[in-house]
Amino acid sequence: MPMMLRMSRTYRVKVPEQVRQRLGLRPGDFLRYRVVGKRVALERVEADDRLEDPFTSFGEWAGEADRKAYAGL
């Protein structure tokens, strides 16, 4: 299901309806993205996962160096 999106001037993209349906997304849901090379993986975050992931609350710690430094915690 390849799709092409255009980023707005404010760097926003709309999640297409097909993707929202497939992931079961609703307004207010949380999404997690992971950058792998030049690709981005997007996934729905369950409520339980948000509570266990310390990086959800602190976006400034989302860099690769931080992930390596805190990997063993």
Q: How far apart are CA 42 and CA 22, in angstroms?
A: 12
Total domains, the chain:
1
Per-residue pLDDT reduced to its tens digit, 7-53: 999 999 899 999 899 889 998 888 888 888 998 888 888 866 555 55
In a domain, 5, yes or no: no
Candidates 16, 39, 41, 43; CA nearest to 29 is: 43
CA atoms within 13 A on the CB side of 34: 6
Please give the residue range of the domain that contains residue 40. Answer: 17-69
What's the pLDDT score for residue 67? 73
70 or 55, which is more confident? 70
In a domain, 21, yes or no: yes
12 is written with which tokens? Answer: 């926003």
